[in-house]
A and B are shown apart, each in its own frame.
Chain A
Amino acid sequence: MSEGHGSGGHGARADLAHHFDSYEQQKDTATLGMWTFLVTEILFFGGLFAAYGVYRASFPAAFRAGSHELDIALGGFNTVVLIASSLTMALAVRGGQTGKGKLAAALLGLTMVLGTVFLVVKGFEYHHKFVEHHVPGPTFHFEGPEANHVQMFFVLYFALTSLHALHMVIGILLVGYVAKRAWSGAYTPRNYNFLEGTGLYWHFVDLVWIFLFPLLYLIGRH
C-alpha cells in the first residue's frame, strides 16, 4: 500500500489494488467491510445492553440508587470530550480526503489527546469506586436493603464502561499509527480508505458512549 503524491505520471494507479476496477469500487469495498465489522460490534455490545435492560426492568429502585453514586459532572465532561474528539476525527478524515496530510496528522494527534483525557477521567472515576467499595466482589459494600441488586448495577457499569474503555485504548493506538502515516503523506484524495475506516471505528466508540451516558449516569435524577 504505497502511493505517490499527486496525480498523473508514472505509477498513478499504484495505490489501486489490482483486484479493483476503480478507486470508487476500492473505497466502497473498504467502507462496506468496515461497516460489516461495526455491525458485529453493535451486536457484541448489544448483549451487555440487553442484560442491562433485563436487570434494570427487574430492579428499578436498585438501579436508581446505583446510578446516583455516579458523578454527572465527570460523565458529562467525558461526553463533551468524546464528541469533541469525534469532531477532530471527522475533520482529520476530511483533511485526508482533500490531500492535507499534515493537517490530518495534527487533528489525529488532537483526537488522541482528547481520547486520553477521557481515559484519565474514567480512571479517576474507577479509583473513586474502589475507595467507596462500590466495585463488585468480596469488598463490595452498599448501605440499604437492595445492596445485592445495586451490586448488579455496578457489575454492568464496570462491564460496559471497561469494554468501552478497551475500545478507546485500541482506538488511540490505531489513530496514532494513522497519524504517522498521514504525516508522511500516505493518504491521497483517491485512497484515504484506512484513515476513513479508522474514523468509522472512532465514531462507533463515540456512539456507544452516547447510549451509555444517559443509561448509566442519568437514571431517576428528578
Chain B
Amino acid sequence: MKFERYGIGIAKGLAVTIRHLLRRPVTTQYPEQRLNTSRRIRGNELIWDKDKCTGCATCAKTCPQGSIEIVTSVMIDENKYQVEKFEVDTGYCIFCGLCVEACPYDALFMGYSYERAKYRRGELVMANEALLASAERQPSGYARPEVAAALPKQSLLLDNDRGKR
C-alpha cells in the first residue's frame, strides 16, 4: 500500500517549513551589509588613466555607441599627442567593455563601483578630470588581470547560509 495520496506529502512539506523556522536567514541587509561584487564587474563609470593615455582614440573608434569623444592636439617638440578633451556620455554607454579591451596602453578601466546613479542626465556626461580614479571610483579587473588580482574575492549568497540558528 502506497502512502502517497493520504496527506503524507502535505505532512512532509509542513516538516520542511517548520525546520526552516530554525534556520538562519540567507538575505543581506543591504545598506548595512554588502556583498563583494565580482572582481571583473563592469560597474558604473569608465576610469581613465591620464598619464598612460596617448590620445590614439582607439577607444572612440571601437565604441559601438559612439559615446566617447576625444580631442587631441599635436606637441611637435615631444612628438606626442596632447589630450585636450576626453569626454564620455555614460548615458549612452552600454557597458560592453570594448573600449577597455581595445586600449593598447591599458589606460582605460571599467568601474568597480555600483552606487553612482545620478539625478540629472547632464551629470552623466563626464569629461577629463572627472574620469580619473578616486576613492569612490576604483578600477575594476575587467580585462585587466593584474587589477583583478588585487581586489577582494567575490562573496556569494551561498556563504550567508550558515545552517542552524
Bind each other = no
User: Interface on A for B, CB 8 Å cutoff?
Assistant: none
Instruction: Using CB atoms and an 8 Å cutoff, list the residues of chain B in contact with chain A.
Output: none
